[in-house]
């Protein structure tokens, strides 16, 4: 495999070579992939790295429903464009059904959940409510599932009902302060658009989007993102006439042709991304984004001596050069500076890299205030990672 070219191709398909610079925010998410949302900064950094969009621009797009955070593939939350609302909800509908089945094993009949769903819709008829407000209104209709429920991750029946209603597009979560990097929501009634596809057609369309976003991926990569069975994944790819462009990697026919004509840029082009940026997360195959010499590089601050190539997920945010993970970074709230390290010491003086660090640092400092990986990330929990990166610099 021509790994350097393939990494650069993935990077190009992600719009990280400035090809997405003039796109609308919805077009970026439609063209390069839905942005995973876990209460951290990934949606903001995703759009900033590709278009330079401000936080205010992103928040306005959310408020206008040009983009929105929805339960999507595997039931995980992603920020998706309006054009994909129906498909995203259809792709994720299996997860809340699994939660309902889990509640059933705790003695909660489906009829009880259905009645709670109806009560939630009635409660929201007069306007938005947060979970606490919903519990106050719903009263005994919400059942506490006790210690057994806590062991299974279900403290009450309310999250089950809300999950089913969100998946059905009957309610949606609205950030209380309008921001995607917080985890405080209210719920409102909604009538989400439908995809207009049956389940088989939706699987094929999701596979089409996925292969377009990645530019090339394996069946295993596709299955990880979609949670499709092996049978359904193979059938969907066959419908698309996908072809092998490198050993084990499939692409849409039009992308396969474009790949043969693609030339990797000669000069470095750096970007500072979140650890769950689509470039990394869509395939979740970290070793493929590392050079052969960096695969064996020890993870900074890891006492076990584990190498980067042994990881499934990055310990820090990545610095990327033409698709290759070239370094790591974190944001230090106390100093209001990015702490970063590039694997190749000579690259640390590259004017393009220094410019990207400065630009991203200003964005995080002035518009986000912090760069949390996920909802429970904090300056205190991040301190060991900051120390590990400082020790490398």
Beta strands, E only, the chain:
35-36, 67-71, 77-81, 171-175, 185-189, 243-246, 249-251, 270-272, 317-321, 324-332, 337-342
pTM higher than the cut 0.85: yes
In angstroms, how far apart are the furthest CA atoms of the chain? 65
Report the pLDDT value the prediction gives residue 1, as an integer from 0 to 100: 81
Distance (Å) of CA 61 to CA 54, 72, 170, 296: 11, 19, 21, 42
pLDDT digits over 119-140, tens only? 999 999 999 999 999 999 999 9
327 contacts 393 by C-beta, under 8 angstroms: no
pLDDT value of residue 183: 84
Quote the Cα angle for 25-223-278, to 5°.
Answer: 25
Beta-bridge partner residues of 80? 68
- Are 308 and 295 spatial neighbours (Cβ–Cβ below 8 Å)? yes
Position 292 scores a pLDDT of 93
* Cβ atoms within 10 Å, residue 321: 28
C-alpha of 288 from chain center: 19
Averaged over successive runs of 10 residues, the pLDDT of the chain (393 residues) comes to 95 97 97 97 98 97 97 96 98 94 95 98 96 96 94 94 97 94 94 96 98 98 97 97 97 98 96 98 96 95 92 96 98 98 94 97 98 94 96 88
Calculate the alpha carbon distances from 306 to 284, 299, 301, 373 in Å: 18, 6, 10, 21
Q: Strands of 27-178 (E only): list them.
A: 35-36, 67-71, 77-81, 171-175
Separation between Cα atoms, residue 150 and residue 163, nearest integer Å: 17
**Do residues 61 and 81 lie in contact, with contact meaning Cβ atoms separated by under 8 Å?**
no
Contact 50, 32 (CB under 8 A): yes
Whole-angstrom distance, CA of residue 180 vs CA of residue 245: 37
Tokens of 26: 């919805």
CA distance 160 to 28: 32
> Which residues are within 8 A (CB) of 178 and not within 5 positions of it... i.e. 6 or more apart?
59, 62, 63
Asked whether the beta carbons of 29 and 80 are under 8 A apart, the reply is yes
357 neighbors 272 (Cβ within 8 angstroms): yes
């Amino acid at each position: 495999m021509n790994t350097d070219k393939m990494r650069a191709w993935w990077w190009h398909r992600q719009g990280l070579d400035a090809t997405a610079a003039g796109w609308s925010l919805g077009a970026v998410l439609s063209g390069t992939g839905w942005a995973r949302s876990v209460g951290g900064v990934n949606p903001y950094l995703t759009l900033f790295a590709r278009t330079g969009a401000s936080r205010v621009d992103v928040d306005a797009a959310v408020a206008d429903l040009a983009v929105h955070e929805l339960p999507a593939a595997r039931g995980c939350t992603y920020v998706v464009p309006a054009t994909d609302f129906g498909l995203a909800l259809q792709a994720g509908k299996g997860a809340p059904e699994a939660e309902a089945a889990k509640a059933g094993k705790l003695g909660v009949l489906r009829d009880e959940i259905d009645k709670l769903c109806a009560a939630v819709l009635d409660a929201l008829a007069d306007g938005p409510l947060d979970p606490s407000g919903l519990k106050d209104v719903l009263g005994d209709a919400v059942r506490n599932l006790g210690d057994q429920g806590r062991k299974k991750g279900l403290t009450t029946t309310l999250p089950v009902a809300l999950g089913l209603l969100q998946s059905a597009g009957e309610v949606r979560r609205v950030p209380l302060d309008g921001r995607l990097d917080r985890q405080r929501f209210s719920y409102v009634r909604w009538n989400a658009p439908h995809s207009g596809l049956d389940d088989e057609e939706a699987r094929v369309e999701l596979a089409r989007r996925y292969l377009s976003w990645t530019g090339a991926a394996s069946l295993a990569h596709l299955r990880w993102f979609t949670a499709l069975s092996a049978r359904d994944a193979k059938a969907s790819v066959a419908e698309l006439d996908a072809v092998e462009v490198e050993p084990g990697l499939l692409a849409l026919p039009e992308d396969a042709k474009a790949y043969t004509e693609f030339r990797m840029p000669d000069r470095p082009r750096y970007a500072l991304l979140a650890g769950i940026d689509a470039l990394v997360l869509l395939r979740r195959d970290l070793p493929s984004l590392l050079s052969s010499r960096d695969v064996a590089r020890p993870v900074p601050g890891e006492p076990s001596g584990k190498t980067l190539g042994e990881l499934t997920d990055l310990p820090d945010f990545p610095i990327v050069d033409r698709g290759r993970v070239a370094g790591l970074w974190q944001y230090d709230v106390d100093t209001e500076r990015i702490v970063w390290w590039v694997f190749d010491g000579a690259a640390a003086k590259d004017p393009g890299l220094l410019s990207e660090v400065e630009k991203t640092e200003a964005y995080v400092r002035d518009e986000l205030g912090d760069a949390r990986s996920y909802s429970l990330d904090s300056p205190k929990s991040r301190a060991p990672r900051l120390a590990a990166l400082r020790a490398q610099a």
